[in-house]
């Protein structure tokens, strides 16, 4: 169960404060597939970052399974990001110096796993599942944008998170690839019961969701 | 830890030219520090030993001698002033254990050296000596007798071969090991009998033979304290019992040279501190830039669960590997440079009156290790702050490229 209470994010700029998220209440039940839609600049990414523990709210709370995440200590919050959240960014987000399989195994290793063969087997299996079985040893620059995005999804899954946050994961990809990647995400949601929150401009994708959150000017519109 | 180290290594490999430049810059700095420190410590310890290296605690010479303090004093300065050979035997001072009399004459045109350098002829009493024969590294297998000479380490001649001194044949009886005391290493040692037999050949300032060539007169004594006696006790006892003498201890002999060198060494030290500081600043500027350049990646690492300590650790390890490698390279360069210039350096130092012996191996290793550790500390200090600052930021800000 995810819940946001009175969530605000104000950015201080030279031209004054910008309220990217302006006092927002939201609840998403465990295992749900929720879609967040809204125009560019409406505050979707800011909201996702606060939910995922990546950006401290100016005000309000984010509670995941009863834990107020922004009241956690620095290290506990890092562990939360590591264990509970699988984040898929709007842009390419693999470390260029690591092979795909290392990138996928990285969250497990940061979490204290010694890089055992079991971790690598799991990373390889996830990449295989994403159709990248033949590219385990490839570096990010050696595969296509769509393949990179799939690797990011594999990485998001390595620690079996409770929550997958995908911020426009397919916006820069062709339609066929978009469908394939969405299928992967939805399969995880269905088969593993992982909560999936997806930001998208694609209304067709949003309509398949069990819950649609429409945001305008940092607030939910009915 | 292994993970962070391997990430750090990979990051170093990304910009090979930049990493190499960093390593080189640190190598130059730590090479200078290592070389400077080794030379300083070598000079310092060479001076600290002096005649103490030869086994003596102090030296007793005629009052009025020693106006010109040079390395030559580390044994007994050749001088026209003399003391009675049986001075100590007669006085019987309790705090003095052994007092070895020495006769020293600095002679020219002796025929020992083909060129016209002066040579120190040093006479000693085998019965009382404790500063010459302990240094014998090779000798003929028989007792020393009149006409025999022992050569300092800097002189070459086969054992048993003939050495002409003022045309008189002498036999090379033995050779001393390196002591680092200039006069000792270039000296020609002989018993008093042999020394006095040269009286007819050596001319002093007045034309006649110097007083030291007379029987029963010596240039000074090298003194070893009696067990349990302190240098202060001995000094008082000697000065109150004997007239017209001067007591020289290791420290006071060297103080003149030390003062001169202190300025030089302080200069080197200041240079080293400056070098250290500027290298630390350079590393910190470089790592501020590197952190800014990698902001996105650091944010990403935080986003997937890297703790602040891991972020800082990764950057610091990267810096420490680079600067530590620079330190190792610097030490290697320093060793190379000192090897290449060893001869001219030692020659120069001894020429200006500074006795010089290299620090012993273990100590050089300690200095080298200190240089490498210092270089690593520079890396750690220089990278810590920028990394720590970046690690405080929200991952989202880092990923978006702010901060
Ligand atoms: N770091 C920042 N500093 C200042 N203003 C910001 C910052 N990040 C976002 N904003 C502003 O906050 C508002 C919301 O931004 P956000 O990125 O959350 O929107 P979005 O809905 O994700 O847009 P898009 O669909 O284009 O990704 C925008 O007006 C944006 O200009
Ligand atoms: Mg966005």
pLDDT per residue over A103-148, tens digit each?
A: 999 999 998 776 678 899 999 999 999 999 999 999 999 999 889 9
Please report whether residue A14 resides in a domain.
no
Please report whether residue A11 resides in a domain.
no
CB contact under 8 A, B307 and A111: no
- DSSP string of B167-210, one letter each residue: TEEEEEEEEE---S-HHHHH-EEEEHHHHHTTTTT---TTSS--
Q: Which are the contacts of B333, defined by CB distance < 8 A and separation ≥ 6?
A: B27, B28, B31
CB contact under 8 A, A78 and B302: yes
Please report whether residue A115 resides in a domain.
yes
Neighbours of A76 (CB within 10 A): 14
CB B232 within 8 A of CB B41: no
Please tell me the residue having the least CA distance from ligand 1 atom 16: A43
Count of structural domains within chain A: 1
Q: What is the pLDDT of residue A117?
A: 86
Torsion sign across C-alpha atoms B297, B302, B304, B306: positive
pLDDT tier at A38 (50, 70, 90 boundaries)?
A: very high
**Cβ(A46) – ligand 1 distance below 6 Å:** yes
**Domains in chain B: boundaries:** 2-52+257-399, 58-249
Please report whether residue A62 resides in a domain.
no
Q: What is the pLDDT of residue B253?
A: 47
Helical segments of B2-147, H only: 2-14, 16-53, 87-91
Domain span holding position A152: 32-54+82-220
A79: nearest CA partner in chain B: B305
CA gap A185, A131 in Å, rounded: 13
Q: What is the pLDDT of residue B114?
A: 66
Please report whether residue A142 resides in a domain.
yes
All residue ranges of chain B with pLDDT < 70 are 1, 44-55, 66-79, 114-116, 180-183, 203-208, 250-262, 349-356, 402-403
**C-alpha distances in Å from residue B170, one per residue of B111, B136, B257:** 12, 18, 36
Please report whether residue A72 resides in a domain.
no
pLDDT tier at A210 (50, 70, 90 boundaries)?
A: very high
Q: What is the pLDDT of residue B72?
A: 40
In a mutational test of the A interface, the residue from B7, B10, B303 whose CB has the highest number of chain A CBs within 10 Å is B303
Please tell me the residue having the least CA distance from ligand 1 atom 6: A11
Q: What is the mean pLDDT of residues A146-165?
A: 94
Q: What is the pLDDT of residue A114?
A: 67
CATH number at residue A88: 3.40.50.300
Please report whether residue A99 resides in a domain.
yes
- Residue to mutate (ligand 1; options A10, A14, A43; most atoms within 8 A of CB): A43
pLDDT tier at A8 (50, 70, 90 boundaries)?
A: very high
Give phi and psi for B97, each to the nearest 5.
-80, -70
Ligand 1 atom nearest to A42, measured from its CA = 21
């Amino acid at each position: 169960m995810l819940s946001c209470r009175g969530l605000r994010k104000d950015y201080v700029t030279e031209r004054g404060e910008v309220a990217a998220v302006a006092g927002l209440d939201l609840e998403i039940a465990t295992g749900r597939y929720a879609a967040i839609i809204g125009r560019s600049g409406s505050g979707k990414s800011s909201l996702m970052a606060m939910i995922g523990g990546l950006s401290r709210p100016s005000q309000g709370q984010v509670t995941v399974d009863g834990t107020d995440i922004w009241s956690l200590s620095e290290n506990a919050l890092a562990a939360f990001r590591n264990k509970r959240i699988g984040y898929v960014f709007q842009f390419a987000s693999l470390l260029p110096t690591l092979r795909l399989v290392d990138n996928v195994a990285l969250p497990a290793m940061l979490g204290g796993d010694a890089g055992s063969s079991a971790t690598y087997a799991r990373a390889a299996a996830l990449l295989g599942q994403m159709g990248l079985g033949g590219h385990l040893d490839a570096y990010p620059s050696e595969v296509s944008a769509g393949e990179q995005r799939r690797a990011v999804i594999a990485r998001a899954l390595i620690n079996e998170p409770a929550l997958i946050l995908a911020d426009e994961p397919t916006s820069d990809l062709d339609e066929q690839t978009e469908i394939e990647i969405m299928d992967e995400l939805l399969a995880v949601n269905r088969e593993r019961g992982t909560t999936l929150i997806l930001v998208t401009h694609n209304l067709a994708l949003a309509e398949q969701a069990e819950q649609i959150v429409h945001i305008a000017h940092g607030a939910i519109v009915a | 830890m292994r993970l962070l180290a391997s990430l750090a290594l990979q990051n170093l490999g990304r910009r090979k030219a930049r990493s190499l430049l960093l390593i080189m810059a640190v190598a130059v700095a730590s090479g200078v520090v290592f070389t400077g420190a080794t030379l300083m410590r070598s000079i310092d310890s060479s001076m600290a030993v002096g005649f103490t290296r030869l086994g003596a605690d102090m030296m007793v010479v005629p009052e009025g001698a020693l106006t010109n303090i040079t390395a030559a004093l580390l044994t007994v300065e050749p001088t026209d002033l003399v003391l009675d050979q049986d001075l100590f035997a007669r006085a019987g001072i309790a705090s003095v254990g052994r007092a070895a009399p020495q006769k020293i004459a600095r002679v020219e045109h002796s025929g020992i050296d083909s060129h016209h350098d002066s040579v120190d002829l040093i006479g000693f009493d085998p019965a009382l000596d404790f500063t010459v024969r302990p240094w014998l590294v090779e000798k003929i297998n028989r007792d020393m007798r009149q006409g025999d000479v022992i050569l300092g380490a800097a002189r070459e001649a086969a054992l048993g071969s003939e050495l002409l001194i003022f045309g008189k044949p002498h036999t090379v009886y033995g050779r001393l090991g390196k002591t680092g005391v200039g006069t000792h290493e270039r000296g020609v040692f002989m018993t008093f009998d042999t020394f006095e037999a040269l009286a007819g050949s050596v001319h002093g300032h007045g034309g006649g033979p110097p007083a030291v060539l007379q029987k029963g007169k010596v240039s000074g004594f090298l003194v070893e304290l009696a067990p349990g006696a302190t240098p202060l006790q001995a000094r008082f006892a000697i000065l109150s019992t004997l007239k017209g003498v001067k007591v020289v201890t290791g420290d006071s002999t060297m103080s003149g040279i030390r003062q001169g060198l202190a300025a030089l060494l302080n200069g080197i030290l200041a240079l080293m501190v400056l070098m250290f500081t500027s290298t630390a600043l350079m590393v910190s500027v470089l790592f501020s830039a590197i952190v800014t350049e990698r902001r996105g990646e650091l944010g990403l690492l935080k986003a997937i669960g890297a703790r602040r300590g891991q972020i800082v650790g990764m950057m610091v390890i990267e810096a420490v590997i680079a600067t530590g490698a620079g330190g190792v390279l610097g030490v290697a360069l320093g060793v190379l440079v000192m090897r290449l210039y060893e001869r001219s350096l030692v020659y120069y130092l001894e020429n200006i009156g500074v006795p010089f012996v290299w620090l012993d191996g273990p100590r050089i290793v300690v200095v080298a290790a200190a240089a490498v550790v210092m270089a690593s500390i520079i890396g750690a200090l220089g990278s810590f702050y920028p990394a720590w600052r970046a690690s405080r930021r929200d991952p989202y800000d880092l990923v978006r490229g702010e901060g």
